[in-house]
Structure 1
Amino acid sequence: MNKKESLAIAQDWFVKQNWKPFKFQKDTWKAYEQGKNGLLNAPTGSGKTYALWVPIVLELLRIKAKEGKLKKGVKALWITPLRALSSEIEQATLRFSQEVFPEITVGIRTGDTSQKVRAAQKRKMPDLLITTPESLQLLLASKKYHQIFSSLNAVVVDEWHELLGSKRGVQMELASSRLKAISSSLKIWGISATIGNLEQAREVLLGPQSNHLKNSVLIKARLKKKIKVQSIIPKSMEKFPWRGHLGLQLLDGVVGIIRHSKTTLIFTNTRSQCELWFQQLLERYPEFAGELAMHHGSISKATRLWVEQAIREETLKAVVCTSSLDLGVDFAPVETIVQIGGPKGVARFLQRAGRSGHQPRESSVIHFLPTHGIELIEASALKKAVKNQAVENRIPYFLSYDVLIQYLITLAVSDGFYPVKIFNEIKQTFCYQSIGEKEWQWCLNFITYGGESLKTYDEYRKVEILKDGLFKVNDRGVAMRHRLQIGTIVSDAVLAVKYVKGGFIGSIEEFFVSKLTPGDVFTFAGRNLEFVRIKGMQVHVRKSKKKTAKVPSWAGGRMSFSSQMSELLREEMYAASSAFPDSDGPNQKLTPELKALKPIFKRQIQESIIPRPNQFLIETFKTREGYHAVFYPFEGRFVHEALASLIAYRLSLLTPISLSIAFNDYGFELLSDQEIDVQQILDNELFTSEFLMDDLYKSLNATEMARRKFRDIAVIAGLVFTGYPSQLIKTKHLQSSAQLLFDVFRDYEPENLLFLQAFTETFEHQLQEERLRIALDRIEQQQIVWKKCKKPTPFSFPIITDRLREKLSSEKLEDRIKRMIKAFS
């Protein structure tokens, strides 16, 4: 059987399904048949899975025809970032393979795979294996893993944009470097939907200096996926918007959308918001009982799977969800998407829009619901971004020593490794292309005796060096603890939520539960639950009939604008400034969203201005709280957090002043009990990028931030053990152990690479130092407009109220804000 004949089989199969292959699918088949590697970029729901499973199965069919049988071991690996997607991918694979080549076996290996299935796989691995980055690392930690992968022809990394720019992506780079060495004929492919820096994404996937990159292609699907963006615009617009207030007021509009669609996914940005919306929808519209469900990462797996199946079977009218349903699950019945609040990024918005019309040639419909008025500017910006396909870049990690150390111990746990060979392999990866002999030797010293400062402690002597130079773990306890802790996702300790009389509901993070006392009622998985006790790693609860309840909060709840989103937002703001030169009506060229904001813009102009492209706005005013100075870079909350601390620190060097800080995605506020001298800020050029790193270090207490970051690094590198499945170590104990090590390295080994990595990650990823520098350079070029206002402006109001949110309960906050609006109007 030749390649032409096998491709004819694929064409015939598509005809039987009443499908017609897209050009990008045929281009991918051809490139794969030619032995090329590559990256496939195609919209969600366009048939990307068949673009690669088809040529993989056909290649095996030709090998069987030529050699009479297939060798043992895995022939193709399909890596997915979410184990929830694995069954979807398996079904798609089987649909093709069972008709074309029924002899080949397909299997799944993730954290959800039972021990029985794992044992069967150990005896005989499937030909096509669907797995996650973590489970692949566990396979590399097994004895004789070379035999498993010796016949490997292909590795496909699905949703590569989700892994790129994370340590899971680094895990994949390292695993690929090992698999390339095992199988000389290996082809590596990535699949990505929403990503800006495609060329770099391909380079990271294949390795910057590798032959795989030289023999590779970038295939883009030229499909015009129609995405309709419709904003839910309130009938009347309050002049003083505040976060969260408007969202639930528009709930009736969402109900109208639900009733006119087959199935609707309602995306929220946080699990807390998901719980709240689910509860409110059922409370106001009890007739939805049985037709409305909720889906987020903390709900039990059984419930999540039930919800996913119910969507496919069209037994649900709507599902309130989080990013747990962002990726690749194929829900053909989903007709409409509702996005609650700004998604903070174009890629995330496009990804969610693609959940509807999740089939080739189908249109996607997404409704944007603002949680406060000014978010309509985001909606206007997103409409343009969708039209122009302006998607963010994903920035890859560089020199992540914690992931490298974990990987080296993984290899040592299995069959051991020879340093020279592995060093040459990892030098081919993007992340470690610049690693030097000195840093490499440090890593080897660290895994063998804990480095200079820990060499007197036996527990850090994990790897032994045998006579022939092989690095090997021989201690069974070390091997077991390492396998339990493989992975780069580090979160707070998670406790199981169970009824007192039994029955698993889901899981919740320790830091929320620690605030509860027996008798407290909280909303979880759509139920009001009374907290009874904590027993071991379980939260025991009983159902409650109380109507008022706390909504759980999860760590990492607040997201920030991407740089792309910030730029788009500024463009919309500048468009509004030219259309509203005074209090008269808006220009007809404006989007419906910006036109709807006329009352807010009119009030803003009455007290201040809407900044133009060449202007940077500062507003000052006095209230009962004190003296306020509000600055508007429109750069996202993470940049504003750093910028606010930086300016406050620089100002304190000029004059003794006590300041408190508040910020959101649009700007930041400095508040003091004495008047803030803005002229001093301008005269002394405090918005300069000169001495930025030094001033940031001092203003933000970077050591404390790095100390917190170090906990994750210590867990990944295996410096601290998170515990056994039934005996997880509490977060505070993990934190104290990591802090102790941090202090040891600071005092006795400041050149420790993990210690230094904590600072690098703090500045590059948490404080986004590069974006901060660019923002400061832009502000230096702008005309600074200082407006001395008599009252707070509509732009400043969300920032002020966000600060109050941290201090007051929901009821007290609403009463306080109503009084404030009355006073400022």
Structure 2
Amino acid sequence: MNKKELFDIAQNWFQEQDWKPFTFQKESWTAFLQGKHGLLNAPTGSGKTYALWFPIVLNYIKNNPDYRAKHKKGLKAIWITPLRALSQEIKQSAERITQDLGTQMTVGIRTGDTSIKERARQKTKMPDLLITTPESLQLLLSSKGYKKVFQECSAIVVDEWHELLGTKRGVQMELGLSRLKTISPDLRIWGISATIGNLEQARQVLLGPETEAYKNSVLIKAKLHKKNTVKSIIPKEMETFPWRGHLGLKLLEDVIPIINKSKTTLLFTNTRSQCEIWFQKILEKHPEYAGEFAMHHGSVNKETRLWVEQAIRNESLKAVVCTSSLDLGVDFAPVETVIQIGGPKGVARFLQRAGRSGHQPGKESVIHFLPTHAMELIEASAMQKAVKNSAVEDRIPYLNSFDVLLQYLTTLAVSDGFYSEKIYEEIKSTFCYQGISREQWQWLLNFLVMGSQSLKTYDEYQKVEVEDDGLFKVNNRGIAMRHRFQIGTIVGDATISVRYQKGGYIGSIEEYFISKLSPGDVFTFAGRNLEFIRIKGMQAHVRNSSKRTNKVPSWMGGRLSFSAQMSELLRQELYTAELEFSKQSKEIQSLLPMFIKQREDSIVPKPNEFLIETFKTRDGYHHIFYPFEGRGVHEAMSSLLAYRISLLSPITCSLAYNDYGFELLSDKPIDIQEVLDNNLFTSQDMLTDLQKSLNSNEMARRKFRDIAVISGMVFTGYPDKGIKMKHLQSSSQLLFDVFKDFEADNLLYQQAFTETFEHQLEEGRLRMALERIAEQETIWRPCTNPTPFSFPIITDRLREKLSNEKLADRIKRMTKILTK
């Protein structure tokens, strides 16, 4: 069949649905059928799934003209999704095409949720089109004879590539692709990505920078003009002294008319605990929503999540409170309205959530922004500009993740084994390991066989054997089984499943929260009040309780920090407070009472100004600095500054920080003039000082726990017999100390420090922030009382010590005194 005949098949199908294919869909079909690789950049809800399922099926038709009569069995294409929740959607789209076009192609799913029976069936008979996750693909590579399974595969599509890029799951994907390219000669690699700042680099990472695949690839952009509208919910009474912590609940009644006006509303929160609290409070105040109102986050059990997703599609729910668990492509045409509670901390995340409403080509997306404290209205205003100018963040890819590489090499050794030279060439072709040296490679191979220099006397670290012909192979069944259980790069805090005493599964909670409960304590989870009975194995037993409680699980991943893009936008927006009133956005205008009070006691900084405030309260001497760079950068900068000050005069400080600035609180005043005269904000010697200031050993030790688990040095236990987090922590700490004392050149030990500085503390951003501050005029304001800008930072520190009720009372008293 020629191209025209194939295109006619697709066009006719679209016509039957009363649709018209978009230009980007036709461009993808053409490029794919020409044998090209590529990256498709298309927004959520634009029909990107059909842009790539279609050419995969058309390619099969082209190669098998009598496809209606005969069916050639075997795996033909793989679709990778980062979220299991999306696999059902993707399967339905694929089946629609394969069935309507009369092919006999089968579609299957293989994820962590796939039953043992279905997996066994796939072992003997693979579906033609397989939908799977990065982890499940690695599991397939760990099975014997995997080359036979993949050799006829013509395509692999990596969906939501922007979500994987800049994570270790992305690295896992790069390695998997490097292997599949070798064993499937006709393989076409395609990625689908929403908008990110570094699209060209994203294509390089997907295909490998210098590879033939990259040279024979295209970047296709869907030029669809989607209208995104941001509407801020502005409080009727503006706080002069804003504080973070009331979770936006003051504006609960402003949300109700929005919910009532729409068929279905999604309320996005940034944390699972905030999601739980909003769900409880809305039902408490509006019991009439019972049965039409649900909650969705990653720790709620799978059945409930699937039920909620289906109920949204059926339009049988009025509203759902959710977290990022509903950020990605689950296809809900009926959602009319999205409400974002609190700043989303990044432009891409905000646009992704906005796209859940009007989730169809050409439809307008409306997102309401609800601030949890007054200063977040500056964020809301910045978001409006970002949406207008389509300013989106870059995703920074990982380099030299040796832990992921060791896991991958063990995977290959567990299946059919590997020859070092052949795999070295494949690995060098990836973006992540393009700079790997011969010495590093040799070290990794020695590690697999001996378990590194300092561990070679211990048998348990010697996993891989080298056979006479140079094949690296795992021959021990126990090692192979343990390795398969542990494939993956997501290392969270150990989770404990929450079950009723009589057996019903409710969801999972991180171990550290449960460990703080005593029997009889009541906490809120999955929308119900539960009384804790006991821990048994890796399960927490509970029963329903009618007691009221303010205990809500918090999850370690709770606090998001500003992206670099967001920080820049926020500063630009703040500077507009100095423009004349008519030139300001309505959000900035609404903050006038706060700005007036701020100017009375201090200043609102201009673009060329860096503000420092000092004042004394009964807690001690407060020194507050405002870089407006985001929580992550402030954590590092506050430690760096405290260390440099301590070199001038011995002083002890406690540190507090948020997205706007940071505080050094001490028992005696710091001479700010001396700080400025000694140029303590210099970026010179930054790394050395940072290492000394931050107890970088401690941070690297925490990071090393994940590296030890991913690389396979520490075993996390069998399903239902997990190893407690404190045991994992102590095993990995022991290894960390051994390497520190006896093997400082150990690549995994060094990787812990690199990741701490580059990823956690964003060393590059910190350096740029210090260079920017050096060019600004520093304005130091000694104040008599806390200012509106300083208020969120000092109240955030109080939260660590006080319960929510006590904190609210204390803040009321403080605000009363300050507004007199």
TM-score by length of 2: 0.99
Q: Equivalent residue for 1:657?
A: 651
Q: Which of structure 1's runs of 4+ aligned residues deviate more than 2 A?
A: 66-73
Question: Counterparts of 1:736-775 in structure 2 under 5 Å?
Answer: 736-775=730-769
Contact 2:71 2:104 in 1 (8 A): no
Q: Note if 1:198 corresponds to 2:204.
A: no
Separation (CA, whole Å) in 2 of partners of 1:35 and 1:365: 39
Contact 1:73 1:150 in 2 (8 A): no
Give per-residue Cα distances to partners, 1:598-652, cap 9 Å, x unaligned: 1111111111111111100001111111111100000000100100000000000
Offset at residue 66 of structure 1 (A): 7.0
Offset at residue 773 of structure 1 (A): 0.2
Question: Counterparts of 1:271-670 in structure 2 under 5 Å?
Answer: 271-579=272-580, 587-670=581-664
Contact 1:497 1:508 in 2 (8 A): yes
Separation (CA, whole Å) in 1 of partners of 2:27 and 2:485: 42
Offset at residue 485 of structure 1 (A): 0.1
Contact 1:246 1:373 in 2 (8 A): no
Contact 1:520 1:531 in 2 (8 A): yes
Offset at residue 186 of structure 1 (A): 1.0
Offset at residue 657 of structure 1 (A): 1.2
Match of 2:780 among 752, 772, 786: 786
Q: Equivalent residue for 2:55?
A: 55
Contact 2:270 2:323 in 1 (8 A): yes
Contact 1:158 1:192 in 2 (8 A): yes
Secondary structure, aligned partner of 1:588: helix
Match of 1:708 among 686, 702, 705: 702
Compared CA separation, residues 417 and 69, structure 1 to 2 (3 A): farther
Secondary structure, aligned partner of 1:234: coil
Offset at residue 501 of structure 1 (A): 1.6
Q: Note if 1:812 corresponds to 2:812.
A: no
Which shifted more, 426-435 or 236-245? 236-245
Separation (CA, whole Å) in 2 of partners of 1:249 and 1:194: 34
- Given residue 733 of structure 2, which amino acid in structure 1 is its aligned partner? Q
Contact 1:720 1:734 in 2 (8 A): yes
* Residue-pair matches, total: 818
Q: Equivalent residue for 2:39?
A: 39
Q: Equivalent residue for 1:20?
A: 20
Separation (CA, whole Å) in 2 of partners of 1:745 and 1:650: 29
Give per-residue Cα distances to partners, 1:162-218, cap 9 Å, x unaligned: 000000000000000000000122110100113110000000000001001001111
Separation (CA, whole Å) in 1 of partners of 2:502 and 2:59: 54
Give per-residue Cα distances to partners, 1:720-760, cap 9 Å, x unaligned: 00000021000000000000000011111100000000000
Secondary structure, aligned partner of 1:378: helix
Q: Note if 1:174 corresponds to 2:175.
A: yes
Q: Equivalent residue for 2:126?
A: 125
Secondary structure, aligned partner of 2:699: helix
Q: Equivalent residue for 1:678?
A: 672
Contact 2:82 2:133 in 1 (8 A): yes
Offset at residue 246 of structure 1 (A): 6.5
- Given residue 356 of structure 2, which amino acid in structure 1 is its aligned partner? R
Which shifted more, 512-521 or 239-248? 239-248
Secondary structure, aligned partner of 2:780: strand
- Given residue 735 of structure 1, which amino acid in structure 2 is its aligned partner? Q
Offset at residue 549 of structure 1 (A): 3.3
Q: Equivalent residue for 1:160?
A: 161
Q: Equivalent residue for 1:3?
A: 3
Separation (CA, whole Å) in 2 of partners of 1:72 and 1:291: 45
Offset at residue 675 of structure 1 (A): 1.1
Separation (CA, whole Å) in 2 of partners of 1:490 and 1:791: 44
Offset at residue 548 of structure 1 (A): 2.2
Question: Counterparts of 1:217-232 in structure 2 under 5 Å?
Answer: 217-232=218-233
Offset at residue 96 of structure 1 (A): 1.3
Q: Equivalent residue for 2:242?
A: 241
- Given residue 13 of structure 1, which amino acid in structure 2 is its aligned partner? W
Separation (CA, whole Å) in 1 of partners of 2:388 and 2:71: 48
Separation (CA, whole Å) in 2 of partners of 1:191 and 1:262: 30
Separation (CA, whole Å) in 2 of partners of 1:285 and 1:739: 50
Offset at residue 359 of structure 1 (A): 1.0
Separation (CA, whole Å) in 2 of partners of 1:126 and 1:218: 29
- Given residue 160 of structure 1, which amino acid in structure 2 is its aligned partner? W
Secondary structure, aligned partner of 2:147: helix
- Given residue 385 of structure 1, which amino acid in structure 2 is its aligned partner? A
Separation (CA, whole Å) in 1 of partners of 2:453 and 2:539: 40
Separation (CA, whole Å) in 2 of partners of 1:40 and 1:96: 20
Give per-residue Cα distances to partners, 1:470-515, cap 9 Å, x unaligned: 0000000000000000000001111110111221111111000000
Compared CA separation, residues 497 and 763, structure 1 to 2 (3 A): same
- Given residue 29 of structure 1, which amino acid in structure 2 is its aligned partner? W
Give per-residue Cα distances to partners, 1:774-799, cap 9 Å, x unaligned: 00000000000111111111000000
Give per-residue Cα distances to partners, 1:707-726, cap 9 Å, x unaligned: 00000000000000000002
- Given residue 53 of structure 2, which amino acid in structure 1 is its aligned partner? W
Q: Note if 1:800 corresponds to 2:794.
A: yes
Structure 2: runs of 5 or more not aligned: none
Contact 1:63 1:70 in 2 (8 A): no
Separation (CA, whole Å) in 2 of partners of 1:577 and 1:163: 40
Structure 1: runs of 5 or more not aligned: 580-586
TM-score by length of 1: 0.98
Offset at residue 71 of structure 1 (A): 4.7
Offset at residue 112 of structure 1 (A): 0.4
Contact 1:57 1:101 in 2 (8 A): no
Q: Equivalent residue for 1:722?
A: 716
- Given residue 775 of structure 2, which amino acid in structure 1 is its aligned partner? Q
CA root-mean-square deviation = 0.9
Contact 1:267 1:338 in 2 (8 A): yes
Secondary structure, aligned partner of 1:146: helix
Contact 2:209 2:431 in 1 (8 A): yes
- Given residue 669 of structure 2, which amino acid in structure 1 is its aligned partner? E
Separation (CA, whole Å) in 1 of partners of 2:526 and 2:365: 28
Q: Equivalent residue for 1:583?
A: none
Query: What's the % identity of the aligned pairs?
Result: 71
Offset at residue 70 of structure 1 (A): 5.6
Separation (CA, whole Å) in 2 of partners of 1:577 and 1:743: 53
Secondary structure, aligned partner of 1:230: strand
Q: Equivalent residue for 2:64?
A: 64
- Given residue 679 of structure 2, which amino acid in structure 1 is its aligned partner? E
- Given residue 23 of structure 2, which amino acid in structure 1 is its aligned partner? K
Separation (CA, whole Å) in 1 of partners of 2:187 and 2:506: 43
Separation (CA, whole Å) in 2 of partners of 1:787 and 1:549: 39
Offset at residue 102 of structure 1 (A): 3.1
- Given residue 467 of structure 1, which amino acid in structure 2 is its aligned partner? D
Separation (CA, whole Å) in 2 of partners of 1:605 and 1:69: 79
Separation (CA, whole Å) in 2 of partners of 1:350 and 1:70: 43
Secondary structure, aligned partner of 2:670: coil
Which shifted more, 667-676 or 390-399? 667-676
Offset at residue 64 of structure 1 (A): 1.2
